Amino acid sequence: MSRSSTLFAGLAACFALSLGLCVLLPQAQLGSLSPDFKEEDGRITEVYPTLTGGIAAAGREVYISQGCQACHSQVVRGAETTDMERGWGVRRTVARDYLFENPPVLGVRRIGPDLANVGAQGWRNEPADDTARPAKRDSTWHFLHLYHPTAIIKVSNMPAYKGLFQLRKITGAPSLDALALPAEMAPPEGFEVVPKAEAKSLVAYLLSLNRSHPLKEAGAVAVAAKKN
Ligand code: HEC
């Protein structure tokens, strides 16, 4: 074989190998993944995962456009790590969890806590005496935290997302969704801070994040999940 054809054969082999390992093999392993169905008496009673719809889907776009994924992951690693001990999940996350996400917002860094299950209520095992992070965090908690993280977590270094809120003059009765801010952060007399549509959809998205559904390929679900 001449030198140029050896080179060509080498290049072709490298290309074929990387195509096989990076495209064809993952496609063969994961390409036919489908949602997990639970059946009772021949009827489908549960489907997981489902497509995120409505305002939560719009909230996902806000999450991406605001760059939340720069500081937050949405991946729970296995029992060999401390992810589950920290209360970030009751099982590790697997490919099926992200089936309908395009693209999945896995994140690359953890400057803040993992958010894969931030909407799962009642079992995220925060220390029982941590009143700043109650196990059940509702939209009121999230709005206040987004507007001014230090209003809740005294030492938070998460940026404040004030742009997602509107300072509004109160005309008539105050709005029902006005934030209850501590005195030192409160708006001037006669004004109120209300979430814009982006903040509402973002919080709907955060509350929809729950990847605790048991999946066989993710191994056993830790006991904490049963509390919910
Ligand atoms: C510069 C890094 C950074 C960015 C960007 C960031 N966060 Fe955070 N986030 C943090 C840190 C640090 C904490 C932990 C302190 C706290 O709770 O405030 C946190 C905490 C949180 C928590 C509470 C999680 C828990 O389990 O207690 C939520 C929810 C959250 N962030 C949502 C968001 C959303 C939504 C965005 C985008 C709009 C965002 N974060 C952007 C750093 C960041």
Q: Residue 105: name the closest of 142, 145, 52 by CA.
A: 52
The predicted pLDDT at position 7 comes to 95
152/226 Cα distance (integer angstroms): 28
Residue nearest atom 38 in ligand 1 by C-alpha distance: 68
Band (227; pLDDT cuts 50, 70, 90):
very low
Long-range contacts, stretch 124-128, CB < 8 angstroms, 24+ apart = 124/87, 124/88, 125/86, 125/87, 125/224, 126/87
Pocket test for ligand 1, best of 65, 66, 69, 72 (most atoms within 8 A of CB): 72
Tens digits of residue pLDDT in 18-30: 999 999 999 998 8
Tens digits of residue pLDDT in 115-161: 999 998 765 655 555 677 776 788 999 999 999 999 888 889 999 99
Task: Give residues with Cβ within 8 angstroms of 75, minimum separation 6.
Answer: 93, 106, 107, 114, 116
Provide residues with CB under 6 Å of ligand 1.
63, 66-68, 70-72, 111-113, 115, 118, 133, 149, 153, 156-159, 161, 202, 206
- Residue range 192-215: average pLDDT? 95
- Residue range 207-223: average pLDDT? 83
Tens digits of residue pLDDT in 80-109: 999 988 888 889 999 999 999 999 999 999
Q: Residue 99: name the closest of 141, 136, 50 by CA.
A: 50
Distance 146 CA to ligand 1 centre (A): 8
The predicted pLDDT at position 129 comes to 57
